[in-house]
Structure 1
Amino acid sequence: TLLVVSLGLCFGMAVFSVYCGFSLALGAFVMGSIIAGISYAERIEQVITPVKDLFGAVFFISVGMMVDLHVIEEYISPILILSCVVIVGMIVFGTFGMLITGQPLRIAMESGFSLTQIGEFAFIIASLGMSLGVLNPIIYPIVVAVSVITTFTTPYFIRLADPAYNFVEKHLPRKLHFLINRYTTNATSECETRVLWKTVLKRYLWRILLYSSVIIAIILITLRYLLPWLETIIPSWSRLIADIVALSCMSPFLLALAMPASRKTERERLIAANARFDVPLIVMSLFRMLLSLGFIIYTLSAIHSMRVGWIVGFLIFMLMLIALSGRLRKHMRRIESTFFNNLNERELRRSGRNNNLVSDMHLAYIEVGYGCPFVGDRLIDSNLRQRYGVNVASIQRGSSFIAVPNGTMRIFPGDILGIIGTDEQIQALLPIIEQGNETGGENENRADDIKLTNILLSETSPLIGKTSATSQIRDKYKALLVAIQHSDGTYDHPTGNNLFNPGDILWLVGDPKQLESLK
């Protein structure tokens, strides 16, 4: 059910995105971003991974089948020229762009050298260009060939990043090196007022983007589906009902869009730091109000006429401004806070930032990783309270919930610990407890590293006369003795007192390399 619902949401949002005039990829991306913030994100990722691998394999097989060797041979010159342009251009512009943002020269060059390819998204753009008739169909295999070449060469350019940096640093003029370091230092050391202004502006743009998207979706649904359906049922009242339904659904988001995006204390600090900041804040407020008015006028104009839209829309907007009392603002901020908390439920639950108990104490739910240094320890031995000042309020282990565990309870990978502490304490503890949750790695152990094998004991075996306990097979070779097969065909389960005799066959489970040395 979880797999079907997740795929249904993805496909549904993709289809809805196409109906709204956007691409399939954008709709799927938006739904993926939404699902990534819920509490079931890890479980959904597990059930979706096989489907992702299947479609990924089909995609790359199809891409490989599109590589026409005859086309490559015929257009080898433009393919090589385009590949060189992509590689050199991405290195130059990537490095230059990172330098502008204030990054050091080493990081800038490493970033530029790691961007020397065009990804599979280029295929989507090329396909769209061909479907619209603005690209010649012969361009597509050329794009595929350039993508294959640049993808193949990217690891080598990543390895060349450090030698290239050493060469540039050695031959770079001192004055230019001084200017780059000075610019980097100035760009990274931002003043408090600038950081505050960036925070306010980011919140302002995010609110406009989010609420405008929701309002536009309501308008499209009303005009494309609701109004035509009402006209077939009750033609005389269809427009009035469409007005009421659309404006009712839009009103919470219009009110939230019209309210200030910055807090009162933030505005006071900005104005106190520099009186010039008062003008941008006023302009931002006017823009939000005009945007809200524009949505209302457009909706009424599309349903009725331009004259009705301007007159009624302006009257509704004035009433909405009058209704923005202090009590209503407080209520709308509460609704907005609930909306964003639901949107970021998973991260808030993990960090505990929105789960205040008293004062600055938070309750966070953190999953124990396989690399956590406390794995296997009892709570009393982990010294979490003495080291980090936090308390363990609960342990979720599978379907079992342990409330207020005692000091003898052990910590295992996969446990979800209910940690109580300040925000600073929890943020410091998060990377320690979650160690090993990331996947990948060259030295990662796999299930296929363990296998079952058998060893025949000869007359000269040093194990002859020993027992399963005194042979120390588990300690020396990290192997588990499963059964002992005697020469007469009978089996014994090891109890620690079984003597090994010539001709016995030992059935062992362990690492193949260790078992080979045991043989």
Structure 2
Amino acid sequence: MTEAAIFVQDLAIILIAAAIGGLVCRRLGLSPVVGYLVAGMAVGPYTPDWLGVVQHVDRVRLFAELGLVFLMFGIGLSFSLKRLRQLGLSVVVVATGGALLVFTAARSLGEALGLEPAGGIFFGALLVVSSSAVIGKLLNDSGTSHDKSSQLALGVTLAEDIVAIVALTLLGSVVPEGSGAPGAGVGRTVALFGGFVLVLATLGLLVVPRVLRWLGKEASTELQTLFVAGLLFAVALMVVKAGYSLALGAFLLGAIVAETPQRPTLDRAFAGMRDMFGAIFFVAVGMSIPVAALPAVSGTIGLTLVVAVVGRALAAAVMFMLLGQDKVTAVRAGLILTPLGEFSFVIAQLGIDGGVLPREYLAVAVGAALGTALLGPVLVKQGDRIAQLVAGRSWPGFDQVLSLYHRLLEGLKQRRDRNLLWKLLRRRLVQIGVEVALVSALLVLARPGVRLALQTWGEEAVPWVGTTVALGAVLALLVLVPLIAILRNLQAVAMIVANYLARKNRAWNRIKGFLEAMLFWPVAVGLALWLWNVAPVQGGVWLAAGVVVLMGAAAMLFWRQFIRWHSEMEVALEASLGEDPAAPTGTPAWADRYAPWGLHLGELELPDRFGGAGCTLAEIDLRRRCEVAVIAIERRGFRINNPGAGATVFPGDKLLLLGTLRQIAAAKRLLLDAVGSEWADADGDLDDLTVEMLDVPAGSAVAGRRLDEVAWPQRLSVQVVGVERAGQRQLPPDAGWVLQPGDRLLIMGVTAQLNEVEAELAAGEEEAK
């Protein structure tokens, strides 16, 4: 066979093996990812010759890199900045604090097992991020995805995606190829990474939604998909050129697209590519595992599994309790967060490629992930019992301290909520923080950019003024709009605080203007000093003075234009990051009040071949059949709250069910088994439809009646698509069209339905005869 034919053969083997492994794991109640990994181990180069059949392993790994891009793009699509904002800072604190605790314990274990310091860092990073895909499936299968503890855990997985991306970037930048001290350059790497992400995300949120809106009007879904796919590879390449990983670029673009109305459409369009190339990625990971080395590292796998289960659950529970959650909720949420996933494999592969981890540690990562995936269903099912057991025990000293701590937190929260000044300042302070960070990031990133430009083009590339002066002018104009926004927001903050103080003390009312100036100018000067220190000043004081003069002149000439641009930018970012009242918000606030009754919220997505497509909730009648209530229907990103009995359901709809766990499970079985069921359309598929021309005879009972009066669409499921009268055609006729003898009706339906219409047309004629 030719090389191309052998490569096609390898792909066929990989995909078929992945499908078989995924199907077996699905039957066992495990994530398909487990099956993909086992399939890779079965067909890879480390198995016996009679079993390992894939020949072009290196080429398959190239496809695996492509799979990593689509996989990270899919994770980004499921990430939601709006959802993270709604959940608040607490989930970020839990994710970061829990990751730090687990990382410390795992790193110490790695060094105790004989790893070098750099290897210990990678080993610790293996355990800091849970698998949102595995956790989501576990909660959906158990029917507890809308419990309070489940929602907290899902929120943490959302924040852990950020932790994972930061970890990947730091691991790839701090210890490249295993060289250098583990802690060298961390501050600089974090600063450059944060600046790069902030600038790229801001530009993306300003540009990508507008382009997608325009494409949505002017182009088909196919062209939108092609554009986003091209943009995905372009952004990934740009991020690699900047010194970061493909995974970062793909994740960032996915997170940006996730904030657009086109997300559901693009998610469906990319689902096939993501599933296929993602499966190839996991199979390639499995192919990299030295199967013969597994017995030798079984002890390491066991220790890693203990740290992953006990350490992650304990760390998350402690962090939840520190943020005010009760012990039962905290422990249950911690147990849910134990499964490891795809980020562990990526980090392990990165450490192996960099030479800081032995190759067998990929088997350790996979073994720990398999173990947590197997234990996950048990921990979720028994989570309430374990949590009640922990909460029911008396912990002398700890319980009293925790109770006092929670009362203190509640008092601080109530005081903050009552604080009028905080309510007035909160939004302005957030805007100032984001804008200062954006300007700082632009200036920090400009320094290596200016250096590279001078090395590439030289100082005399721009006539008359020189390259340095030209670049300084461009950078000054670029940061001028956010600088004006910062000054206006600072002025507003100073005015609000001055007015507040003047109300509190009448004596200060006379010097309100002075108070406002004293609040504004020190902060403005401090900001100027900060920007001067981070700005890439390479031309001396005179160049800096010239840039300041240029900025002042531009501000005076184009002040109104700059303000309008800033307003448009703020509106665009607010539209992308602001709260979406139509978006699903997780568990309703009243759900906790019904928990003592044994009620839960379950979610079910109707399959593509759902037999009850187009039926109403009254026809399906889940309330009578299973004693559950449908409290919401989500369709293509839009939610219908509290739908009535006449609401129809279609394949792809997500139903939010309220009932006991047993009732929800019964409803899921009933709906998932409804393929070709009693609700199915007895009149056949689309191919059974036909169009006939039927005449309205003289004396017909329908003559003189309007189309909405005969109600054929409602009664017989046929459509009158055209009428011909005296040589004139009406396509289609409106509901008020009055039928007359001699009219020729173009009617669409199945044969049995059309026969009924023809019988109605002839009935009056026969009576007249």
Normalising by structure 2, report the TM-score. Answer: 0.43
Find the counterpart in structure 1 of residue 752 from structure 2: 493
In the alignment, which of 530, 546, 565 is matched to residue 335 of structure 1? 565
Identical counterparts, % of pairs: 19
Whether 1:161 and 2:383 are equivalent positions in the alignment is yes
CA contact (8 A) 1:118 1:151 kept: yes
Between stretches 165-174 and 205-214, larger displacement belongs to 205-214
Displacement of 1:81 after TM fit? 0.8
Deviations 1:104-162 (A, max 9, x none): 22221122111213322122222333333333333332222222222332222222321
Whether 1:42 and 2:268 are equivalent positions in the alignment is no
Find the counterpart in structure 1 of residue 14 from structure 2: none
CA distance in 2 between counterparts of 1:350 and 1:103 reads 26
Whether 1:52 and 2:279 are equivalent positions in the alignment is no
3-state SS of paired residue (1:38): coil
In the alignment, which of 468, 492, 497 is matched to residue 267 of structure 1? 497
Whether 1:289 and 2:289 are equivalent positions in the alignment is no
CA distance in 1 between counterparts of 2:342 and 2:471 reads 43
Deviations 1:249-271 (A, max 9, x none): 33323444555458436534776
Find the counterpart in structure 2 of residue 124 from structure 1: 346
Find the counterpart in structure 1 of residue 254 from structure 2: 32
Deviations 1:442-489 (A, max 9, x none): 72988994449xxxxxxxxxxxxxxxxxxxxxxxx4455438xxxxxx
Displacement of 1:220 after TM fit? 5.3
CA contact (8 A) 2:428 2:489 kept: no
After the TM superposition, which residues 320-331 of structure 1 pair with which residues of structure 2 at under 5 Å, given as runs? 320=551, 328=559
CA contact (8 A) 2:305 2:371 kept: yes
Find the counterpart in structure 2 of residue 62 from structure 1: 284
Q: 1:3 to 1:219 in 2, by over 3 A?
A: farther
Whether 1:228 and 2:467 are equivalent positions in the alignment is no
Q: 1:234 to 1:207 in 2, by over 3 A?
A: closer
Find the counterpart in structure 1 of residue 433 from structure 2: 205
Find the counterpart in structure 2 of residue 514 from structure 1: none
Displacement of 1:334 after TM fit? 4.0
Q: Which has the higher contact order (CA 8 A, sep 6+)?
A: 2
CA contact (8 A) 2:289 2:360 kept: no
Task: Point out where structure 1 has 5 or more consecutive residues left out of the alignment.
Answer: 302-307, 354-368, 378-411, 418-428, 453-476, 484-490, 499-519
CA distance in 1 between counterparts of 2:252 and 2:317 reads 30
Displacement of 1:167 after TM fit? 0.9
Find the counterpart in structure 2 of residue 137 from structure 1: 359
Find the counterpart in structure 1 of residue 511 from structure 2: none
After the TM superposition, which residues 227-246 of structure 1 pair with which residues of structure 2 at under 5 Å, given as runs? 228-229=456-457, 237-246=466-475
CA distance in 1 between counterparts of 2:542 and 2:459 reads 24
Find the counterpart in structure 2 of residue 469 from structure 1: none
Deviations 1:275-306 (A, max 9, x none): 9xx9998886555333432343x1x42xxxxx
CA contact (8 A) 1:257 1:288 kept: no
Deviations 1:156-181 (A, max 9, x none): 22223211221122212476435434
CA contact (8 A) 2:605 2:654 kept: no
> AA paired with 2:355?
G
CA distance in 2 between counterparts of 1:186 and 1:326 reads 53
> AA paired with 1:208?
V
> AA paired with 2:572?
N
Between stretches 53-62 and 85-94, larger displacement belongs to 53-62
Displacement of 1:33 after TM fit? 2.1
CA contact (8 A) 1:116 1:150 kept: yes
Q: 1:225 to 1:8 in 2, by over 3 A?
A: farther
CA contact (8 A) 1:38 1:343 kept: no
3-state SS of paired residue (1:141): helix
> AA paired with 2:477?
S
Displacement of 1:214 after TM fit? 4.6
Displacement of 1:96 after TM fit? 0.7
CA distance in 1 between counterparts of 2:671 and 2:269 reads 20
CA distance in 2 between counterparts of 1:479 and 1:234 reads 72
CA contact (8 A) 1:257 1:292 kept: no
In the alignment, which of 318, 321, 331 is matched to residue 99 of structure 1? 321
CA distance in 1 between counterparts of 2:308 and 2:452 reads 43
3-state SS of paired residue (2:259): coil
Find the counterpart in structure 1 of residue 369 from structure 2: 147
CA distance in 2 between counterparts of 1:96 and 1:349 reads 29
Find the counterpart in structure 2 of residue 113 from structure 1: 335
Find the counterpart in structure 2 of residue 12 from structure 1: 234
After the TM superposition, which residues 390-429 of structure 1 pair with which residues of structure 2 at under 5 Å, given as runs? none
CA distance in 1 between counterparts of 2:637 and 2:314 reads 46
Deviations 1:71-102 (A, max 9, x none): 22111111101110121111111111111112
In the alignment, which of 467, 482, 490 is matched to residue 683 of structure 2? 482
Between stretches 250-259 and 230-239, larger displacement belongs to 230-239
CA distance in 1 between counterparts of 2:520 and 2:289 reads 54
CA contact (8 A) 1:219 1:246 kept: no
Find the counterpart in structure 1 of residue 399 from structure 2: 177
CA distance in 1 between counterparts of 2:521 and 2:635 reads 51
In the alignment, which of 400, 405, 409 is matched to residue 187 of structure 1? 409
Task: Point out where structure 2 has 5 or more consecutive residues left out of the alignment.
Answer: 1-222, 509-516, 584-603, 607-614, 618-632, 657-664, 685-749, 759-769
Q: How many residues align?
A: 395
Q: 1:227 to 1:338 in 2, by over 3 A?
A: farther
CA distance in 1 between counterparts of 2:528 and 2:640 reads 42
CA distance in 2 between counterparts of 1:87 and 1:331 reads 57
Q: 1:186 to 1:214 in 2, by over 3 A?
A: same
CA contact (8 A) 1:227 1:242 kept: no
What value does the CA root-mean-square deviation take over the aligned residues?
A: 4.9
Q: 1:140 to 1:218 in 2, by over 3 A?
A: same
Find the counterpart in structure 1 of residue 476 from structure 2: 247
CA contact (8 A) 2:473 2:550 kept: no
> AA paired with 2:279?
A
Q: 1:255 to 1:23 in 2, by over 3 A?
A: farther
CA distance in 2 between counterparts of 1:186 and 1:229 reads 61
CA distance in 1 between counterparts of 2:296 and 2:438 reads 49
> AA paired with 2:304?
L
Find the counterpart in structure 1 of residue 298 from structure 2: 76
In the alignment, which of 537, 543, 547 is matched to residue 312 of structure 1? 543
Normalising by structure 1, report the TM-score. Answer: 0.61
> AA paired with 1:482?
D
> AA paired with 2:300?
P
CA distance in 1 between counterparts of 2:320 and 2:393 reads 20
3-state SS of paired residue (2:683): strand
Displacement of 1:210 after TM fit? 3.6
CA contact (8 A) 1:113 1:158 kept: yes
Find the counterpart in structure 2 of residue 397 from structure 1: none
